Each structure stands twice: as C-alpha cells, then as structure tokens.
Amino acid sequence: MISKRAEEIKPSVTLSINQMAKMLISQGKDVVNLSVGEPDFDTPQPIKEFAKKVIDDGFTKYTEDKGIKELREVISEKLLKENNLKYTPEQIVVSNGAKHSLFNIFLTILNPDDEVIIPSPYWVSYPAMVKIAGGVPVFCKWNDKFKIDIDDLKQKITPRTKGIILNTPSNPTGIVYTKEELIEIAEVLVRNNIICISDEVYEKIIYDKIHISIAEMSDEMKKLTIVVNGVSKTFAMTGWRIGYIAGEKEIVNAISKIQSQTTSAPSSISQKAAYFAIKEGEDLYKNMVEEFKKRRDFLVKNLSKRISFPYPDGAFYLFCNFNNMDSKIIAQKLLEEKFVSVVPGDDFGAEKFFRISYANSMENLKKAVERINQFVNENE
C-alpha cells in the first residue's frame, strides 16, 4: 500500500533524537537537550500582540496563493535595503515555512533524474526533498574550511546537473561564506548555467561577519539564483510557518501554480505577523542574537580542547569531532550515560561529527559542557 517513494525516505534524525530526549525527561531524567534546531526564545511580544489584533479584526480567510501583497511588498523592500537585491512583489512567493519553499522549488525545477549538487555537510532534509521531487542528490566534498571544495564541485557537474544548494550561514557548521568565496562559486555556476538554491534562513543570526547572498555577485548569477528565507529563525517564529522565495518570474509563477494546487497560501494570521516582524526589523531580534553570541563564546572557550569544530560565525550550532569516533556511538553514550542530547552527523553527510545546538539556556549549557567534558575524559 505504501509507495516506493515513501518507503525510501528516512525519518528526520533530529526529530527522533529530540523525541528520545523528551521521553527520558518524562521519566524524570535531567536531560540537557542540545539537539533542537530552533530558537529557545519566545516569539517577541509585539508580534504576538499584532497577531491577536489581526484575529480580532477578522482577517481569517484564504489569501492570494502567492501570499498577501503587503507581506510580499515588505519582503521586496527588505531584499533591496538589506541585500541590494531588486525583486518586485510579483517575484516573491510566501509559503508554509522555508522548508516548504525549498520543496516547492524542487518540484518546480526538477525533471526525473535531474541532479542537484549538495555540498557536505548539509542540512538533513535536503537529500530527501530532492529525492521526493524525482531528482538525484549528488554530494560535494568540503575543504579545510568546511566549505565547498571548488575542484570537486567542477568534477561533480554533469549534463544532468540542474541545481546546487548553498546554505550560508550553515546548518550544521555555522560557517559563513565570504564575498571572495561566493564570487568563485558563482563563476562556476554561471559558466555551467546551474540554478543556485540559496538557503539564507540564518541570515540574521550572524556574529563576526556579514551575510552576503550569492545573488549579489552579478546580474547573471542573480538570474540563476532562487533566494530562500523566512521568519522562523530570525524572529523565533518556527511554529508560525512562514517562508518565502524570490527569483525570476518564470520560476516564481510556476512555484505559485504548484502551491495553488497543493497547500494554497499559508495562514492569513501568520502572514500578517510576518509582515509586522519584517517591517519592524532588528529591534525584535537583536537581543536574541546577542545572547546566542554569548553562548557560542562560552562553548568555544569551555568545551574540552580535544573536541574540534569549525569556528561558527553564524547560526546556533557547533559541528564537533572527538577522536574520529562514530557519531552515533557518541550520541547514544552521551544521552544514556550523561543525559546530554546531541545529533549524530551521519544524516548531515559527516559520520565522524556530531551537532550541538546552543539554542538552550546558559544554565543548561554549563551543565552540558561539564557532562560532555567528563565523557571526553572517560573516553580518551
């Protein structure tokens, strides 16, 4: 009864680890959960108050499939002001979270067996979404900075290559691409006419560098880029489910057509809340980002020096290696013996690494560091 497509898709490892942690917590165990990929902060109060007013005003009906015009307008203004990218509201589609935006893209651009290059390490859902849409994931190696190995990228391009996913700041590593690195990647993509799906959802959670979109590199690159973003991470609005894409009209119109026959538009209330959040901007998220930076600095300073990781300039993750141990063993032992939940790296394309999320309180991070360092000392 179940399709072959469904049978081939593995459940999300991050969700399953999180469920295991919650089960132990329900049994009374003092588990520190470092597996969660969402801000631990509440949605800012002004956004919630605005949404309540929207409900009271009766804005509770279906909206245009692309999303309400005022939200697409404020996204257009944001992209121009903050990213130097000119997209009209008609070049934007609002969806049920950035994950939905990504899936819409793959359904729109991929024919059966088209290839999508996914640089390792990668967010766990990229390969599954490509497969569900009928495409073939092709994995590209990382260099000594945990960024795309340009030589390997060139080798992985074939006549069936349709696109590449670029995620900066990165989940799971927290690395951020520089302008020089983006120029080098863009030259390869333009030369080979490859679409770039630019996942920029962690754009505002950045510390020591600035975020640059690959679409900014040239007019040719902009035409090949589909920008993906949302409000989940920036404004701690994961449950509101609002993401968006910006791109060339041909692709955007096709995405809108697909969305109109599947989910239709996202929640009218969430769209209004996202409009308010983006319009108000930095004042609503700067304190959260400052707190994430403090947590990152604490972990970098206090985790055992026998644990290595690429230095994270953005997002809220450390991607860790300890003695090249199998990450599944590490994750299992940490959870069962030390009651610390982390995510093994297999589904990120890096079996010797495990991901720590610092979307947790400083109090809990201090407990976690003590327990992880104990584990390291016991397993040298």
- Residue 161, classed as helix, strand or coil, is strand
Question: Are 121 and 265 found together in one domain?
Answer: yes
What's the pLDDT tens digit per position in 142-168? 999 999 999 999 999 999 999 999 999
Q: How many CA atoms lie within 13 A of 166 on its CB side?
A: 32
For 23-45, the pLDDT digits (tens) are 888 899 899 999 988 999 999 99
Which residue, of 226, 252, 281, is where some domain finishes? 281
Which one is predicted more confidently, 154 or 4? 154
314 and 227 in one domain?
A: no
- Cα–Cα distance measured from residue 129 to residue 228, given in angstroms and rounded to the nearest whole number: 15
CA distance 205 to 374: 30
pLDDT tens readout for residues 65-97: 999 999 999 999 999 999 999 999 999 999 999
**Residue where a domain terminates, one of 247, 262, 281:** 281
Q: How far apart are CA 344 and CA 208, in angstroms?
A: 27
Q: What is the pLDDT of residue 193?
A: 98
Determine the residue type at 32: V
Does one domain contain both 101 and 224? yes
**Are residues 297 and 251 in contact, defined by beta-carbon separation less than 8 angstroms?**
no
The domain in which residue 92 lies consists of 61-281
Most confident of 13-17, 191-195, 344-348: 191-195
Q: Does 303 lie in the same domain as 229?
A: no
Residues paired with residue 227 on neighbouring β-strands, in sequence order: 198, 246
* Distance in angstroms (rounded) separating the CA atoms of residues 110 and 318: 32
Q: Which residues of 153-166 are buried (b: 16+ CB within 10 A; e: fewer)?
A: beebbeeebbbbbb
**Domain annotation covers residue 208:** yes
- Tens-place pLDDT, residues 282-333: 899 999 999 999 999 999 999 999 999 999 999 999 999 999 999 999 999 9
Where among 221, 248, 281 does a domain terminate? 281
In a domain, 56, yes or no: no
